[in-house]
C-alpha cells in the first residue's frame, strides 16, 4: 500500500502512518530474528492504539522504530504529516526531530531535579518560548500534582514519579505520545487510578497515542483500538470489544482474555451456519459467525469464554449446549466466582456472579449458547 492509497481511505488526519516496516536483529551466534515483519499501521488524530502481545512479539521494537530509537531495515514512517523515515529515500530523522513525546517504563526522571525542573527541562529542550512557567504549571496540574513541584523523585512514590513523567510528556503539546509499559512499575491500586486518569486526559487533550503493554485488562480499558501482535506482525486490529467478541484467530481468542479451548471433530454441518462437533464433553453445537462451515471430519478447536458458560439450576434455554459435571475448585473473586468444573474427560473454566455460590464437590449443569462458541482450524493459531 502506498502513502497516497492509505490517505485516500479516510477523512481523518493521520498522525502516525507506518508502511511495510521491517526490523530484524542478529542474536548471539548469528541467528537472524525478524522483530517487526511488514507492519502497516495508521493512527488518526485523537486516537489511542494499544500494541498488545506476549514478550518477543515485536510491540516494543515497533514503538521504538516510531520514536526513532531503533532504525528499521525497510519501510516508511510519517508523523503529523512529515516523513521521519524512508528506507528508499534515505530519510532517517533523529528522535528529537520527531513530533513525539515518550513515557518510559523506568520513568527516566533526572534525580537531581525537582518535579518542576524535570518538566521545565523538557520544555526548554524543545525550544519553546513564551511563558515557560505557565506551561510547566499547567502540565503538573493536568496530572494532579501541582503540590509536588518542589519535590525530588527520591521523595516520591512510583505513582507520583509516573505523573511527573506524564506531565513532562504533555508539557510540550505533542501531537503524538508514545507509551512503553508506563504503569508496570506501580502497584495495582495506583495503576487502576492512573489508567482512569490517563483515559480522561487523552479524551480531553485528544493527542494520538501508541501504547505498549502485555496487560490485557489495561489494553481493553485504554484503547480506542487494540493491535494484537504475533511474531512481528499485527494479526488483528479493532476496537477492544470487537477483538474480544470476534477474534480473528485462535491465537487472538486465547491471548485476549481467558478462554476454554476444546478439541473437536466436525460431525455435521447444518443449515444457517450451525455445526455439530464431537468433543470430550459430548456433542456440542456452534453457530458459525460468517464464512464457510468446516468439512465433516475436519479437526477443529472450539473457544468458549468462561463468562459464557452458565451454571443452570432449572430449565436450560432452548438450543443451548449442556454439560454436566462436578465443581472441582471454587474461587471467590468479589464481583464474581471462578470455578473449575470436571466434566466428562476435561475441565471447564466458568465465571459466574456471586449470588448463588457453588461449593467444591457440588454437581452442576452448565449451559452455553452455540453463538458463544468460536470454531477455529485445529492447526491454526
| pLDDT tens-digit series, residues 20-60 | 999 999 877 778 899 999 999 999 999 999 999 999 999 99
What is the value of pTM for the model shown?
0.86
Closest to 222 measured CA to CA, from 234, 240, 242:
240
32-44 vs 336-343, strand pairing mode: unpaired
**Would you state the cell numbers that stand for residue 292, as one nine-digit string?**
464457510
pLDDT of residue 49: 97
Residue with cell 531495515: 73
**Would you state the cell numbers that stand for residue 126, as one nine-digit string?**
524543545
Closest to 71 measured CA to CA, from 49, 95, 40, 104:
95
The CATH number of the domain covering residues in 3-99+175-253: 3.40.50.300
**Tens place of pLDDT for every residue, the chain, 381 residues?**
444 444 443 456 899 999 999 999 987 777 889 999 999 999 999 999 999 999 999 999 999 999 999 999 999 999 999 999 999 999 999 998 998 998 887 778 999 999 999 999 989 888 887 889 999 999 999 888 999 999 999 999 888 888 898 899 888 888 899 999 888 777 788 788 888 888 888 888 888 999 999 889 999 999 999 999 999 999 999 999 999 999 999 999 999 999 999 999 999 987 667 899 999 999 999 987 666 678 899 999 999 999 999 998 777 788 899 999 999 999 998 889 999 999 988 999 999 987 778 999 999 999 999 999 999 987 555
pLDDT of residue 5: 40
**Would you state the cell numbers that stand for residue 134, as one nine-digit string?**
505557565
Distance CA(361)–CA(325), nearest Å, equals 10
Distance CA(295)–CA(6), nearest Å, equals 37
pLDDT of residue 271: 67
For 167, other C-beta atoms within 10 Å of its C-beta total 27
Distance CA(321)–CA(373), nearest Å, equals 10
**For the chain, domain boundaries:** 3-99+175-253, 258-377
Contacts of 315 (CB under 8 A, 6+ apart): none
Residue with cell 517504563: 105
pLDDT of residue 184: 79
Does an H or E element contain 236, and which? strand 233-238
pLDDT of residue 170: 86
The CATH number of the domain covering residues in 258-377: 2.40.50.100
Per residue in 192-209, is it b (16+ CB within 10 Å) or e — as a string? eebbeebeebbeeeebbb
pLDDT of residue 136: 94
pLDDT of residue 291: 62
Amino acid at each position: 500500500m502506498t502513502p497516497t492509497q492509505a490517505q485516500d481511505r479516510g477523512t481523518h488526519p493521520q498522525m502516525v502512518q507506518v508502511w511495510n516496516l521491517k526490523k530484524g536483529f542478529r542474536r548471539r551466534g548469528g541467528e537472524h530474528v525478524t522483530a517487526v515483519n511488514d507492519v502497516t499501521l495508521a493512527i488518526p488524530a485523537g486516537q489511542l492504539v494499544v500494541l498488545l502481545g506476549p514478550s518477543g512479539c515485536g510491540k516494543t521494537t515497533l514503538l521504538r522504530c516510531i520514536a526513532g530509537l531503533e532504525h528499521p531495515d525497510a519501510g516508511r514512517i510519517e508523523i503529523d504529516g512529515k516523513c521521519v523515515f524512508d528506507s528508499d529515500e534515505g530519510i532517517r530523522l533523529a528522535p528529537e526531530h520527531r513530533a513525539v513525546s515518550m513515557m518510559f517504563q523506568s520513568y527516566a526522571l533526572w534525580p537531581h531535579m525537582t518535579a518542576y525542573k524535570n518538566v521545565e527541562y523538557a520544555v526548554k529542550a524543545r525550544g519553546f518560548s513564551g511563558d515557560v512557567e505557565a506551561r510547566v504549571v499547567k502540565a503538573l496540574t493536568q496530572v494532579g500534582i501541582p503540590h509536588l513541584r518542589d519535590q525530588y523523585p527520591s521523595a516520591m512514590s512510583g505513582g507520583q514519579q509516573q505523573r511527573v513523567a506524564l506531565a513532562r510528556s504533555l508539557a510540550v503539546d505533542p501531537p503524538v505520545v508514545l507509551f512503553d509499559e508506563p504503569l508496570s512499575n506501580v502497584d495495582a491500586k495506583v495503576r487502576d487510578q492512573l489508567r482512569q486518569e490517563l483515559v480522561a486526559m487523552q479524551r480531553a487533550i485528544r493527542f494520538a497515542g501508541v501504547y505498549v503493554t502485555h496487560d490485557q485488562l489495561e489494553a481493553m480499558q485504554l484503547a480506542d483500538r487494540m493491535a494484537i501482535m504475533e511474531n512481528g506482525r499485527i494479526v488483528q486490529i479493532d476496537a477492544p470489544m470487537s477483538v474480544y467478541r470476534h477474534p480473528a484467530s485462535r491465537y487472538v481468542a486465547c491471548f485476549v482474555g481467558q478462554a476454554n479451548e476444546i478439541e473437536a471433530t466436525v460431525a455435521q454441518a447444518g443449515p444457517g451456519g450451525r455445526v455439530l462437533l464431537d468433543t470430550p464433553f459430548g456433542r456440542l453445537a456452534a453457530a458459525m459467525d460468517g464464512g464457510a462451515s468446516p468439512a465433516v471430519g475436519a479437526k477443529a478447536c472450539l473457544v468458549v469464554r468462561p463468562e459464557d458458560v452458565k451454571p443452570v439450576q432449572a430449565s436450560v434455554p432452548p438450543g443451548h449446549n449442556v454439560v454436566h459435571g462436578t465443581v472441582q475448585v471454587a474461587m471467590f473473586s468479589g464481583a464474581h466466582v471462578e470455578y473449575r468444573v470436571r466434566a466428562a474427560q476435561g475441565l471447564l473454566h466458568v465465571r459466574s456472579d456471586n449470588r448463588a455460590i457453588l461449593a467444591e464437590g457440588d454437581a452442576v449443569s452448565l449451559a452455553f449458547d452455540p453463538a458463544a462458541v468460536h470454531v477455529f482450524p485445529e492447526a491454526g493459531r
